[in-house]
Every structure is written in C-alpha cells, then in structure tokens.
Amino acid sequence: MDQKAFQDYYPDELSHCYGCGRHNEHGLQLKSYWVGEETVAIFHPKPYHMAIPGYVYGGLIASLVDCHGTGTASAAAYRKEGREMGTAPPLRFMTASLQVDFLRPTPMGVPLEVRGRIEEVKGRKVVVSATVSAGGEVCARGKVVAVQMPEHLMPKAELA
C-alpha cells in the first residue's frame, strides 16, 4: 500500500508491542491502513499459528482484532482532532475489552484480512468492530473497546 501504516506512526517508545510493534522482532508486526471510512490489515499466519492441522489458532485471531482495534482507535482519534498521525502528543490506545465470535474455522494457507469499522469516538474511548476474513469469507467477528493510554503508563522516550 502507498500509505504508511498506523503503527509506523507510533513513537519508538510505544512500538514494542508483540502484536503490532515494529521494534518487536519476535512479534506479529501487524500493519493497519485506512480504506475509505474503514481500516484494513492483511496478515499471513505462519504454519505454526495453527489450532489443529489446516486451521488457524483462535488466539492469533483475537490478537489481530485487538491490535487492529487499538490502531484503528488511534487513527480515528487523530482524524477526529483533525491532526496528522504521528504528531505530538501521541494518541495511543489500550484495550479495555475484547470480544471475538468465531463463526467458522479459519483456514491456513491464505492471507487473513482484518477489517475495522469505527462505531464510536467519545472522550478517551473508541469502539471498533472488526471482521477477520479468509478467501473472502468472514470467519470471525470482533469488537474492541479501546481507551486512550493514561499519561502515567506512557513510557519515556529514552526507553525506546
């Protein structure tokens, strides 16, 4: 994609997350983008991300919904304030609650599309609904209630 991913706008000290941090070499390094009013991330599961042979592990799907949700929340909050992503002070979100309904087993061997829709932006809270699809078929639906990270949890820049 031509755009820069939401997660690549996070400051260095907020880019260690296992799910989406570009500085976490062991992690999933999820990348999320705007597509019109919705947001999209494409993820290629590794063969070991399996539940049973042929199918993707549910915890991975929950992790994709989670990090795509907080990334979408950040992008939505910047958009609402009319600010460019990445401008200070950073608007970084954490998950207050996560819900995932597994509609059908998610097949291995195809890229997964995580699609987010912003349901609500209110004060420090953003609600994002999401689908996870494989080969054009929705395999899971999720919802993330994300809240802006409080100041006292924000790591100092020199930790990065």
Which residue in 29, 38, 111 sits closest to 76, CA to CA?
A: 38
20 vs 75 by CB, closer to a second copy: 20
94 vs 110 by CB, closer to a second copy: 94
What is the spatial distance between Cα 1 and Cα 21, in angstroms, rounded to a whole number? 18
Q: From the list 37, 52, 82, 123, which residue makes contact with a second copy (rule: CB under 8 A)?
A: 52
What is the spatial distance between Cα 116 and Cα 135, in angstroms, rounded to a whole number? 17
Asked if 49 interacts with a second copy (CB under 8 A), we say yes
3 vs 42 by CB, closer to a second copy: 42
Asked if 135 interacts with a second copy (CB under 8 A), we say no
Count residues near a second copy (CB under 8 A). 42
Which residue in 46, 22, 24 sits closest to 32, CA to CA?
A: 22
